[in-house]
Amino acid sequence: MVKVLPSLLASDFLKLGSDMKRMEEAGADIFHLDIMDGQFVPNISYGIPVCEAIAKKSNIPLDVHLMTEDPEQFVEEFAAMGVEYLSFHIEATSHAHRLITHIQSQGMKAGIVLNPSTPVEAINYVLDIVDFVLVMTVNPGFGGQSFIMSGVDKINELDELRRSKNLDFLIEVDGGVNEETGKLCREAGADLLVSGSFLFKSEDPKQTIMDIKEK
Ligand code: DX5
Ligand code: ZN
């Protein structure tokens, strides 16, 4: 069964605590936290102090998605908060192998993220050590964008690679996920589905999470 990860970027920040509670009660598996620095992507979201507040309040694991230059910064800070999954963009570093092992040495699962324009070949050399691969199905920086269909081929390609090479990394998908695009991702082999605007707009998030999981 896939896991559903509400992206807190889509919450009402003035009601972050109650939005988190609502998603936990609806059956959310993991919270997805988007860190944007205004450099790697043309937007700024929130930083370390807000993540610390979320970590204190959350009853489910946290998945931090760094959309930043210098993703090597702050690894220790996220580990100290008890973050379980930490991912960075391959486009933001030339030292992915070193960063993955550093994240893992801090007790976290390390993920590597592919922009829609970046081919799977760019991360071939770390597929044997990475814990998860995050396939972006929108250009990162904003919630509420439409799903880019070619992402489904990329999920298929990663799923085939992991079978043929007997690897065990998870496949996460982020951007424009709803019950229809989520189904395509599930069928292609995705394990973790992030949902922002679609899930937060729902009047019945419990049902929406179930729909993303199995409709
Ligand atoms: C986009 C972020 C996503 C975003 C997803 O840059 O990485 O996590 O919040 O939101 P939706 O589901 O609205 O595309
Ligand atoms: Zn994200």
pLDDT tens-digit profile of 23-75? 999 999 999 999 999 999 999 999 999 999 999 999 999 999 999 999 999 99
Query: What CATH number is attached to the domain comprising 154?
Result: 3.20.20.70
Q: What is the DSSP string of 148-162?
A: -THHHHHHHHHHHHH
Q: Which ligand neighbours the alpha carbon of 142 most closely?
A: 1
Best CA proximity match to 173, nearest among 120, 130, 124, 113: 113
pLDDT at 149: 98
**204: how many CB neighbours lie within 10 A of its CB?**
10
Q: What is the pTM of this model?
A: 0.98
Ligand 1 atom nearest the C-alpha of 141 is 6
Confidence of residue 79 (pLDDT cuts 50, 70, 90): very high
Ligand 1 atom nearest the C-alpha of 9 is 9
Instruction: Kindly tell me if the per-residue pLDDT of 82 is higher than 90.
Output: yes
pLDDT at 205: 98
Best CA proximity match to 110, nearest among 57, 22, 93: 93
The number of domains in the chain is 1
- Write a three-state SS string for 23-86: HHHCCCCCEEEEEEECCCCCCECCCHHHHHHHHHHCCCCEEEEEECCCCCCCHHHHHHCCCCEE
Token pair for 76: 């220790």
pLDDT at 50: 98
* Most ligand 1 atoms within 8 A of CB, residue of 66, 67, 142 to mutate: 142
Q: Which is catalytic among the residues 19, 29, 63, 174?
A: 174
Q: How far is the CA of 113 from the centre of ligand 1 (A)?
A: 13
Question: Between β-strands 132-136 and 3-6, what pairing exists: parallel, antiparallel or unpaired?
Answer: unpaired
Name which residue leads in pLDDT, 188 or 215.
Answer: 188
Contact call for residues 177 and 192 (beta carbons, < 8 A) = no
Mean local confidence (pLDDT), 114-136: 98
Q: Is the CB of 196 under 6 A from ligand 1?
A: yes
pLDDT tens-digit profile of 137-192? 999 999 999 999 999 999 999 999 999 999 999 999 999 999 999 999 999 999 99
Known catalytic membership, residue 12: no
Confidence of residue 116 (pLDDT cuts 50, 70, 90): very high
Dihedral-angle region of residue 55 (phi above 0 means left; psi in -120 to 50 means alpha; beta otherwise) = alpha
Confidence of residue 215 (pLDDT cuts 50, 70, 90): confident
Give me the phi and psi of 81, to 5 degrees please: -80, -10
Contact call for residues 95 and 72 (beta carbons, < 8 A) = yes
Mean local confidence (pLDDT), 13-29: 98
Give me the phi and psi of 15, to 5 degrees please: -125, 35
Domain that holds residue 22: 3-214
Q: Is the CB of 199 under 6 A from ligand 1?
A: no
> Quick one: 181 exposed, middle or buried, by C-beta within 10 A (0-12, 13-18, 19+)?
buried
Known catalytic membership, residue 34: yes
Mean local confidence (pLDDT), 115-135: 98
Instruction: Kindly tell me if the per-residue pLDDT of 17 is higher than 90.
Output: yes
Q: Is the CB of 194 under 6 A from ligand 1?
A: yes
91-101 as b/e: b if 16+ CB within 10 A: ebbeebeebbe
Q: Is 119 helix (H, G, I), strand (E, B) or coil?
A: coil
